[in-house]
Structure 1
């Protein structure tokens, strides 16, 4: 579904991603680990097509189509959705008004809002005065309404209390695995996702297929996501990367 080939990206004239290779197959959920400043959020923003992230080399392929130079709205129409770590406040723009543009015709907005405890926020300015957990649930509600085929989630567990992380985690699992009765169906009909995580908490709610470690702007290694997380906890990123490089 998503294939990133030899991708190098500059922001403000500075190289922040260098020769990144990564893929997410249909129905697969991949997680991205890495230290602060490694370029993880920049990778998601580049895939989504945000301005200021200038691709200097490489390609972004989505559903066998080169989308490297497509604007963000065209990528959204093709089925890519994003939850950013720090979404902006949008005073004067109500969630309900946003959904008039982004919602699929069959979507029951009121029901989805109730499930995420967001009903009282539908007629408020987007993110204005929201807590960390409310912002995450607002972002998830926007994705649930959009119904993308590829989810880009930037640290969905950050800034969220224990009660909210359960709501967020369960909703992410539902969005990705809805109507999937067995593993075989998941890889044929399921949604795909690339999820950035620092704590690994999201792995308590989703069944991840592959993990990647991004460091110094490039993919250093990949493997079983839970094994990678355990190695990071025990050895830190430096030890994990050295170990993986010695094995290759």
Structure 2
């Protein structure tokens, strides 16, 4: 099933992916790359992951190293749709900008009109919004979509007044 999703152009960054003994990070990135002409070493360098390429996937990695490893795999795959679960979880302040820059690259934020990739980023803290240029924010409570609006405005309102007040605002389109 994972292979079928990948063939359809869907990539996933898990909140806590498994450690896989015996599978080197370089090998999984090579699998994700497929037939694409991507320089794995250069890509790993952009994410400060070069020293991890010959290590087993996620074995002994810190939270931030795991997130960067997941993004390295996604960047190599270059999916049309990326599902990204809590990219800032377990990431120290020094590396959250690296994560944000990688997500912006993955989602082709610099292309504007010619963008082919999109993503759904799940966050509980909203901290990643300081580093990722999100287009639209959605608020889910109890499994129901409660609000759709500008993500930075929503986060500001939630921090100021809580989730309930955010759902009452005039900007909500739901």
TM-score, length-scaled by structure 1: 0.64
More moved, 232-241 vs 113-122: 232-241
Alpha-carbon separation, structure 2, partners of 1:100 and 1:191: 20
Task: Report the 3-state secondary structure (helix = DSSP H, G, I; strand = E; otherwise coil) of the residue aligned with 1:227.
Answer: helix
Residue in 2 aligned with 1:211? 137
Shift of 1:170: 1.3
Alpha-carbon separation, structure 2, partners of 1:102 and 1:247: 37
Residue in 2 aligned with 1:87? 17
Alpha-carbon separation, structure 2, partners of 1:99 and 1:209: 28
Residue in 2 aligned with 1:53? none
Residue in 2 aligned with 1:149? 80
Residue in 1 aligned with 2:147? 221
Shift of 1:138: 0.4
8 Å Cα contact 2:138/2:151 also seen in 1: yes
Q: Deviations over 1:142-181 (max 9, x none)?
A: 101111111111111111111110111112112222662x
Alpha-carbon separation, structure 2, partners of 1:216 and 1:121: 39
**Runs of 5+ consecutive residues of structure 2 not aligned to the other structure:** none
Alpha-carbon separation, structure 1, partners of 2:127 and 2:173: 27
Matching of residue 103 in structure 1 with residue 33 in structure 2 = yes
Runs of 4+ in 1 over 3 A off after TM superposition: none
1:201 to 104, 120, 127: 127
Residue in 2 aligned with 1:115? 46
Q: CA, structure 1 residues 196+178, in 2 after alignment: closer, same or farther (shift >3 Å)?
A: closer
**Runs of 5+ consecutive residues of structure 1 not aligned to the other structure:** 1-70
Alpha-carbon separation, structure 1, partners of 2:110 and 2:40: 19
Q: CA, structure 1 residues 89+209, in 2 after alignment: closer, same or farther (shift >3 Å)?
A: same
Q: From the CA coordinates, give the structure whose radius of gyration is larger.
A: 1
Higher helix share: 2
More moved, 196-205 vs 220-229: 196-205
Q: Deviations over 1:13-63 (max 9, x none)?
A: xxxxxxxxxxxxxxxxxxxxxxxxxxxxxxxxxxxxxxxxxxxxxxxxxxx
Higher relative contact order (CA 8 A, sep 6+): 1
1:164 to 92, 95, 111: 95
Higher strand share: 1
Residue in 2 aligned with 1:173? 104
